[in-house]
Amino acid sequence: MKHPRNLFYAQSGGVTAVINASACGVIQAARARPDLVGTVYAGRNGIVGALREDLIDTSHESDAKIAALRHTPGGAFGSVRYKLKSVAENEAEYRRLIDVFRAHDIGYFVYNGGGDSMDTANKLAQVAASMDYDIACVGVPKTVDNDLPITDVCPGFGSVAKYVAISTLEAAFDVESMPQTKVFIVEVMGRHAGWIAAAGGLAGRDPGEPPHLILFPEVAYDEDRFVDAVRDRVERYGNCVVVASEGIRRADGTFVAESGQQDDFGHAQLGGVAPHLAEVVRGRLGFKFHYAVADYLQRAARHIASAVDVEQAYALGRAAAEMAMSGVHGKLPVIVRTSDEPYRWEVGQADLAAVANVERHLPPEYITEDGFHITAACRRYLTPLIQGEDYPPYTGGLPEYVRLQRNMAPRKLPAWEG
């Protein structure tokens, strides 16, 4: 009989309101099978934790604390934006990972992240095979941007969608009350894909209901068209509520607002679209405006998480661990939609290679012809994802989010000089 081996889990990329629900699923599934899994080690700050042999020994965390991860936002073990180079470019990194895994008898690798992270998991799977190191590499999808292919939805998206739809609805009620405020702009995340901006469209059910305009990264931003549309909506409805994706670009491909910073994946850090649009509104229309920039608040808003999203995040975490434990390699669990209404879904499987580095944008049939709103087909897709309110427990007026002890496992190897 095989002795139990250890499981390495890590979180990568921008965190979400529910990535810890996936962590909870992974760890609970592993704890349920002591015959297969000894210790679950979590990488401190994602894959970098493996490279540096910064392994959090999760066996010191109580069952209650692990259960509380299900309702705790952020990444409990620390995330990171770090993309491994190709094997040809930096084989040493991959060898280091295998060395660390060998030293700690890691037989299961479960990596929770977006497209870049699925790429990392996929490359590692290949290198391990070529080095004859026995490990099951499985991904867990996660991204608020909802830009992974194949899976019906990425855990994290449903909750940010719900937050953005509710915030847009609430702000619209406020704006309608204030006759002097003509334009309200809320800036939401979505670097290349307009899924989050689209979710703002759920706040209204017909064209006269806010939001009146949605600016998608998939539609080239044209200042004149934007100004004309704002003027038109203010004339028709008394005010204009705009949901703007941080990632909107002009026809020439330049971002409307770049912060000037880059992340370690080399992506431009965005931000400042709302102030920019507000300046345009003031300068060209003279309307009184307000704007909000939701930024981290939107993806951390566990207090109003979508119950569907929490359940899916947890289910995919569990499924990933179970897949790894049963020897599945180079795959990730995904959400398969079997019915729109009532919404029904099940967990399927896909190849990491098929998901890595492929960005799913809003399809043209989800955007109205004028480019400023979502279609009925888009509503059919989005609506199920924001169903249910999975409220966290509260003490003293604040959510009871958990901070783990994060005890480090003793190192066994020399420090990494990468």
Does 339 bind a second copy (CB under 8 A)? Our answer is: no
Residue span binding a second copy (CB under 8 A) among the ranges 93-101, 110-118, 265-273, 311-319:
265-273
Residue 98 vs residues 50, 109, 118, 134, 309: alpha-carbon distances, Å: 9, 11, 17, 10, 33
Residues 17-76 that bind a second copy (CB under 8 A): 17, 45, 72-76
Give the Cα separation of 79 and 295 in Å (integer).
17
Q: Which of 219, 274, 313, 328 binds a second copy (CB under 8 A)?
A: 274
Give the Cα separation of 326 and 344 in Å (integer).
26
Residue span binding a second copy (CB under 8 A) among the ranges 83-91, 211-219, 245-253, 298-306:
298-306
N-terminal to C-terminal alpha carbon distance within the chain = 38
Which of these, 348, 345, 334, lies nearest to 308 by C-alpha position? 345
Does 273 bind a second copy (CB under 8 A)? Our answer is: no
CB distance 201 to 373 below 8 Å: yes
CB distance 401 to 392 below 8 Å: yes
Give the Cα separation of 59 and 129 in Å (integer).
28
Size of interface with a second copy, in residues (CB under 8 A): 72
Pick 6 or 22: Cβ nearer a second copy: 22
Pick 324 or 382: Cβ nearer a second copy: 382
Residues 382-411 that bind a second copy (CB under 8 A): 383, 386-389, 391, 394, 396-399, 401
Which of these, 21, 359, 377, lies nearest to 190 by C-alpha position? 359
Among candidate residues 57, 145, 147, 309, the one labeled active-site is: 145
Pick 160 or 219: Cβ nearer a second copy: 160
Residues 188-217 that bind a second copy (CB under 8 A): 202-203
Which helix (H) or strand (E) is 374 found in, with range? none
Pick 78 or 194: Cβ nearer a second copy: 78
Residues 81-120 that bind a second copy (CB under 8 A): 81
Which helix (H) or strand (E) is 135 found in, with range? none
User: Considering Cα of 73, then 76, then 81, then 84, what sign does the dihedral take?
Assistant: negative
Residues 149-188 that bind a second copy (CB under 8 A): 162, 165-167, 169-171, 173-180, 184, 186
H helices present in 195-351, as ranges: 195-200, 223-237, 273-285, 296-300, 307-325
Q: Which of 96, 302, 318, 360 binds a second copy (CB under 8 A)?
A: 302
Q: Which of 129, 131, 292, 408 binds a second copy (CB under 8 A)?
A: 292
CB of 124 to a second copy, least distance (A): 21
Which of these, 2, 1, 8, lies nearest to 128 by C-alpha position? 8
Residues in the chain: 418
Pick 70 or 81: Cβ nearer a second copy: 81
Active-site residue 145, yes or no?
yes
CB of 80 to a second copy, least distance (A): 6
* Residues forming the active site: 145
